[in-house]
Amino acid sequence: MQTKETITLSGVPETMLQTVYARAKESSGRGAIRDRKAEETIGGLKMLADLMGVQNAIIAIEENKADTFPKIEQLIADDPRLHLYPLKCKYPQGAEKQLINACTGREVPSGKLPADAGCAVFNVDTAGAIYRRFTTGMPVIRRVVTISGSAVAEPKNLEARIGTPIEKLIDACGGFKEAPNKLLAGGPMMGNAQFSLDAPVVKGTNAFLAFAGNEDKRVKDPQCIRCGKCINACPMHLLPIYMNVYGKQEDLDNAVDCGMMDCIECGSCAYVCPARIPLVAQFRLTKGKIQAKRMAERAKAEAEKKKAEAEAAAKAENK
């Protein structure tokens, strides 16, 4: 059995942990450390280390947020388990598998979770929420949300209560300086397109972006020119060019063989694509179909098993 050694802030902890990491995502993560009480984040990380029994907890922050380092170093000075790990600014380094590899050199096996590499990863907001829950009894009722984009008059990090309409946050930033042509819930690379501002802040909301002008780069009926740039850009070393083809053809088995379920949806492939093919959107759709197929197969197998058991029981009674 592995010895428990470390922790990371970003995902869901499991057994046999060696490492725990706390990471800052988007500007909201920076705000959670700098603009709000950093004591909450570090206090939550200490609690996670205590609960999981690990002896190594890493606060991973990219170097462009170096203004937060002195405060963090001051807060962790009294606990030898906690370590500040400055990271070079790379994308998508904040993803769980990439973060674990950058900090420890370990690789999460295909189809496995961070716990299988002896790690657990949590967001800084999660660490802060854990601290507040245990010290004040307060559940998650607010989030730090980044409101930005070329259409926003005054981009800001705002602390908003769960359920607050995004429209109210836009108003708090001075509204739009020009009509937006694209709205994203999340970051610019992994965010999901929105059709209105009526959506509320939920516990997973970390950013809302509004773009205007010529930043809408969508094209009608894009065609792959087989340049291979998407393959070079993929941080998971997958084959986006074939994943897209198999996804469109609904050839789910070959899509899985190409690593469809290992895709972290970082958007790197779509970003470098000269044809502007919405690759991530296709991958999300295909992954949903794969999961639905697997659920149907499991349900069918369970139904057949129950039927066989019922038939066996009936035969036993007749004897």
Q: What is the pLDDT of residues 154-197, one digit of tens each?
A: 999 999 999 999 999 999 999 999 999 999 999 889 998 898 89
Virtual CA dihedral for 246, 250, 253, 255, nearest 10 degrees? 30
Contact between 123 and 10 (Cβ < 8 Å): yes
CA distance 87 to 75: 19
Q: How many CB atoms lie within 10 A of CB 239?
A: 18
Mean predicted confidence (pLDDT) in 70-87 = 91
pLDDT tens sequence across 224-264 = 999 999 999 999 999 999 999 999 999 999 999 999 999 99
pLDDT digits (tens, 9 = 90+) for 1-13: 344 444 444 433 3
Give the span between the Cα atoms of 35 and 109, in whole angstroms. Answer: 37
pLDDT for 215? 81
29 contact partners, CB below 8 Å, separation of at least 6: 23, 123, 124, 125, 144, 206
How far apart are alpha carbons 225 and 213 in whole angstroms? 27
Instruction: For the chain, give the percent of residues with pLDDT over 90.
Output: 52
For the residues 29-49, what does the mean pLDDT come to? 75
Band of residue 21 on the pLDDT scale cut at 50, 70, 90: low
Q: What is the pTM of this model?
A: 0.79
Average pLDDT, the chain: 86
Between CA 182 and CA 192 the distance in angstroms is: 10
User: Which two structure tokens, joined as six digits, stand for 161?
Assistant: 């209560």
- The three-point CA angle 131-142-169 to 5° equals 150
